[in-house]
Amino acid sequence: FFFDPSVHEMSKAPVRVCITGAAGQIGYALLPHICSGKTFGPDQPIILHLLDLNIEAVQTNLKGVKMELEDSTYPLLKGCVTTGDATVAFTNADFVIMLGAFPRKDGMERKDLLAKNCGIFKEQGALLNTVANKTVKVLVVGNPANTNCLIASECAPNIPKENFSALTRLDHNRAIGQLAIKANALLEEVQNSIIWGNHSSTQYPDINHATIKGKPAKEVIDDEAWYTGEFIPCIQKRGAAIIAARKLSSALSAAQGISDHMHDWVLGTPLGRFVSMAVSSTGNKYGVADGLIYSFPVSCAAGKWTIVDGLAINDFSRDKMKATENELMEEKTMSMEILKA
């Protein structure tokens, strides 16, 4: 009996992966992760639903992306739909990665940005509610990601709240990277940093529970001034620093963060290791208000995330966690007023 791994590899049914804002630079950087099996597993066939604005130039760009995917001959890619119609894109979707959002423009108040995005995510949440699979997993990346995720979830009552998450894995990975550089350690030797709260400059990168080469990170890097004065602001403002340097927002690293987030959510985290995901705060044991999408340390197994409980929180951490919670509460209040209007 001759075992042919290629036959075995294709025995799974394809999953439908929808990407919104797919013609943008994050989408372009993300597609190789998804199509090569890095995101959902080396034996998981994929059908892509690529959605972007129903404008001729954007749809032409999307067709060009589809041509490149055809030319890349990914064995796992079993089909690709490009569309400007969200109903088509979301129909029977198993996973939806929401890159698309209204960008902040110069001189724009946060309330104006929230108003623009409330409209988008209210409409897309309602559509997900009716046409996507009821087991769909949704990752919101477009900013303000946590609150956009909350709005989509609120407008999709048929989909479990735990199936919505927002991206803070990019921030988490940034923290791991900076710790590895500072400690002159290998990336795989750095574990369990945490991003608490909002994907904004109020986020709290916490290394109190991180380890480097199995030892507490704060013992390995015994430098509180560096931690509070350099590391925390560096992670909080890293996105802005990349825009200042490249004149473009993070794409390569954002795609890696998205791929890592979905991989761990679907396929699980290694035993004893946790990662950061912005998820429903309802029922958490850290005193964070219910009803928010807030980034916590989580572990994942069998397609489900669980907040890691029982981590000691000092006063410094508590203050930082509260500040980012307050910002999320403000965003929620503004958004709910806009949705009612």
- Copy the structure tokens of residue 102: 């209204």
Q: Which residues pair with 211 in a beta bridge?
A: 191, 216
Q: Write the DSSP symbol of residue 187.
A: G
- B/e letters for 258-273, b = 16+ CB within 10 Å, e = fewer, are bbbbbbbbbeebeeee
148: helix, strand or coil: helix
Cis peptide before 144 (omega within 30 of 0): yes
Q: Write the DSSP symbol of residue 92.
A: T
CA dist 152 and 258 (Å) reads: 18
Radius of gyration of the chain (CA): 20
**Residue 247: exposure state from Cβ atoms within 10 A (0-12, 13-18, ≥19):** exposed
Q: Catalytic annotation on 199?
A: yes
**What sign has the CA pseudo-torsion 268, 173, 254, 325?**
positive
- Amino acid identity at 216: P
Cβ of 105: how many Cβ atoms within 10 Å? 9
- Residue 137: its H or E element: strand 137-140
Q: Which of 33, 172, 199, 263 is catalytic?
A: 199
Q: Which residues are catalytic?
A: 199
